[in-house]
């Protein structure tokens, strides 16, 4: 490693293709002629070309900007593609692609997970394919992607052959974006044309006006309408509708809203979204066309269609006075009785109480590190999303630091220094806390090395436990002491405290070398590659936690899994007696604390340690 001779991941030796202008679809209302077209799912993500070759993979945006660092989670899967060089066209989505752009934005903030859905192949092994008809380019793409696992991080865009009416209805019914119709005999042409057509799903709903945002344009009575919807016995805020009005409609709405003005909002609204809004009693209903509802419960691309004159089928719920909120670690907990976990029953207030009690156990490892928060605002039954960048409205106790990415652009990152900061995260719906490998005063110098042992589905915990003990021994042979933590899921984390001498590149390269050493020595037990296909019957030694910006679950964090298990440190002697990675509940975790687990003092990746790893790799273990 020191000599620049790491065991290399699969490489593409050909010349790296350059970005090409992307082909764009023309919006239309009707499905295309099935005889000349096929239809594909319209994905709501980021258009991206993937260039494979020397110096790759590179992930390029629609405009040709290099965003490889933002989608680094995809790189291991892209390296598996069997070619000398290639240029693929496709879309980067979060999950299966139906969740929408808001979910993708949350995934980008959290560093993944992503999926690359490829739908075209523009260059292969130095041959330009753009002049070929789509049908032939597709065959070449299918052959290239055939070795990849189904539903993996890189996959093919599915084709709808024949009449697409039923498929289109089903896609819209489950919240999809729509379809793209493509001429099967057309070449690939940069720019917009009618060779590709997009047919979008739209949704309609009736919502209550709860206020209006003032306009700074003369003659315009308002800029947008604040709307809400009835959910159970209360109103839920859904954001603003700012388009679709003509002058007559705006004047009529302004006249109707004027006598309904009130001082207080009739619905709970985040402070940053309430600024500049004039509130009204929720008595007017409008019909709205919109693209989707985001993970935060906001209408996206909402368009006003008209005012409903017929009376509502149910009376509007009365505006409730805010009840007293319990105070935990100085933080007021809203919706305190909301059930986060069913069995054992754990409410939001109960979760806040746990974290307040666990804070002295957590802070030695968590304090002053940038955090990723796994938020479940509605509990286990609702949606979940990662958030790295806190917005306005987060409690002041959860502090914020601006951190620059590799392009020099800064963004806010949350960190905590005390129990109030941790509980402040819970107030915002956080269940899991994930920590960086560096502290905020030296973000360029990691102080912990983490290996996450992730077993294949068919392996029992005994195999993972043996693997952890073996990896401990391998690290000791290299001169490094470590400590263990049950992940609270199905794996075990091995943690090596580091002196803050080496930078991220050195730490990442070293951790990959350790994982490759284990995989090289016992290929039937271990793999260092994330590919699900190569993990079959093996344990993946996840070394990717050691990238700048990557995170790992914090000690004593609750996991968003049935039973509310806790990520818990264990001694090496105790590990031999434990039967599962989710062995400890919140109560048990507080009772035991760090128990007999004593993290070793920080160690350096010295020349002797690196030389020992190089020698072991050369010997094959």
β-strand 115-124 against 154-156: which pairing, if any?
parallel
Cα 613 from Cα 178, distance rounded (Å): 52
CB atoms within 10 A of CB 55: 11
Closest CA to 391 of 296, 276, 322: 296
Residues 6+ apart with CB under 8 A from 33: none
Residues 6+ apart with CB under 8 A from 389: 109, 411, 412, 413, 414
Q: Is the C-alpha dihedral spanning 40, 45, 46, 49 positive or negative? A: negative
Cα 455 from Cα 463, distance rounded (Å): 8
Q: Is the C-alpha dihedral spanning 549, 553, 557, 560 positive or negative? A: positive
Residue 193: φ, ψ to 5°? -155, 180
Cα 54 from Cα 75, distance rounded (Å): 14
42 is catalytic: yes
3-state secondary structure of 221: coil
3-state secondary structure of 409: coil
Cα 360 from Cα 364, distance rounded (Å): 7
3-state secondary structure of 66: strand
Token readout for 163 is 């009449």
User: Residues of 580-603 as b/e, b for ≥16 C-beta within 10 angstroms?
Assistant: bbbbbbbeebeebebeebebeeeb
β-strand 526-527 against 539-542: which pairing, if any?
parallel
3-state secondary structure of 604: coil
Cα 467 from Cα 448, distance rounded (Å): 20
CA angle, 407 then 412 then 418, to 5° = 135
Q: Per the residue annotation, which of 42, 182, 240, 399 is the catalytic one? A: 42
Distances (CA, A) of 488 to 339, 535, 563, 570, 577: 20, 21, 10, 12, 16
CB atoms within 10 A of CB 175: 15
Closest CA to 48 of 63, 32, 33, 35: 63
Token readout for 430 is 């956080």
Q: Which helix (H) or strand (E) holds 307?
A: strand 303-308
Which residues does residue 435 pair with via DSSP β-bridges, in sequence order?
A: 371, 552
Alpha carbon 599 to its chain's center: 30
Cα 498 from Cα 545, distance rounded (Å): 14
β-strand 568-570 against 483-486: which pairing, if any?
antiparallel
| Catalytic residue numbers, as ranges | 42
């Amino acid at each position: 490693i020191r000599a620049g001779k790491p065991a290399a991941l699969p490489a593409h030796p050909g010349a790296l293709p350059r970005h090409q202008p992307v082909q764009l679809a023309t919006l239309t209302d009707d499905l295309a002629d099935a005889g000349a077209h096929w239809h594909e799912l319209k994905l709501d993500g980021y258009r991206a070309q993937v260039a494979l070759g020397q110096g790759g993979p590179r992930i390029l945006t629609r405009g040709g900007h290099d965003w490889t660092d933002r989608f680094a989670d995809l790189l291991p899967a892209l390296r598996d593609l069997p070619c000398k060089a290639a240029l693929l066209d496709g879309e980067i989505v979060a999950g299966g692609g139906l969740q929408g752009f808001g979910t993708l934005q949350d995934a980008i903030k959290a560093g993944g997970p992503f999926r690359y859905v490829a739908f075209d192949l523009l260059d292969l092994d130095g041959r330009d394919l753009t002049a070929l008809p789509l049908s032939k380019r597709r065959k070449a793409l299918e052959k290239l992607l055939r070795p990849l696992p189904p539903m993996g991080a890189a996959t093919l865009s599915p084709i709808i052959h024949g009449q697409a009416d039923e498929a289109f209805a089903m896609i819209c019914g489950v919240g999809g974006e729509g379809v793209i119709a493509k001429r099967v005999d057309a070449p690939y042409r940069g720019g917009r044309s009618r060779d590709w057509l997009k047919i979008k799903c739209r949704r309609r709903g009736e919502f209550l006006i709860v206020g209006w945002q003032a306009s700074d344009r003369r003659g315009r009575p308002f800029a947008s309408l604040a709307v809400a919807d009835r959910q159970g016995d209360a109103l839920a805020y859904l954001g603003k509708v700012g388009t679709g009005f003509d002058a007559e409609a705006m004047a009529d709405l302004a006249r109707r809203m004027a006598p309904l003005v009130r001082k207080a909002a009739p619905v709970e609204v985040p402070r940053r979204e309430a600024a500049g809004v004039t509130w009204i009693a929720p008595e007017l209903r409008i019909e709205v066309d919109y693209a989707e509802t985001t993970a935060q419960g906001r209408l996206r691309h909402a368009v006003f269609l008209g005012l409903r004159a017929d009376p509502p089928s149910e009376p509007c719920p009365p505006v409730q006075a805010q009840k007293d909120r319990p105070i935990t670690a100085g933080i007021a907990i809203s919706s305190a009785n909301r059930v986060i976990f069913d069995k054992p029953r754990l409410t939001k207030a109960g979760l806040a109480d746990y974290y307040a009690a666990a804070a002295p156990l957590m802070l030695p490892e968590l304090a002053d590190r940038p955090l990723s928060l796994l938020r479940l605002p509605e509990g286990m039954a609702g949606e979940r999303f990662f958030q790295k960048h806190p917005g306005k409205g987060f409690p002041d106790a959860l502090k914020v630091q601006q951190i620059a990415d590799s392009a020099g652009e800064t963004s806010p990152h949350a960190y905590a220094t005390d129990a109030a900061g941790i509980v402040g995260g819970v107030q915002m719906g956080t269940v899991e806390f994930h920590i960086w490998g560096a502290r905020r005063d030296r973000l360029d110098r990691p102080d912990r090395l983490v290996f996450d042992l992730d077993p294949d589905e068919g392996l029992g915990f005994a195999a993972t436990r043996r693997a952890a003990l073996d990896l401990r021994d391998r690290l000791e042979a290299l001169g490094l002491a470590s400590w263990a933590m049950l992940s609270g899921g199905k794996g075990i984390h091995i943690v090596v405290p580091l002196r803050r001498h080496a930078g991220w590149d050195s730490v990442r390269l070293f951790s990959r070398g350790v994982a490759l050493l284990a995989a090289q020595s016992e290929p039937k037990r271990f793999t260092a590659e994330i590919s699900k296909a190569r993990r079959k019957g093996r344990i993946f030694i996840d070394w990717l936690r050691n990238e700048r910006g990557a995170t790992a679950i914090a000690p004593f964090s609750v996991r968003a899994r049935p039973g509310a298990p806790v990520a818990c440190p264990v001694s090496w002697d105790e590990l031999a007696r434990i039967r599962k990675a989710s062995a400890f509940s919140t109560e048990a975790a507080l009772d035991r604390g760090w128990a007999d687990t004593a993290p070793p003092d920080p160690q350096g990746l010295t020349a002797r340690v690196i030389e020992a790893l190089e020698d072991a790799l050369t010997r094959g273990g």
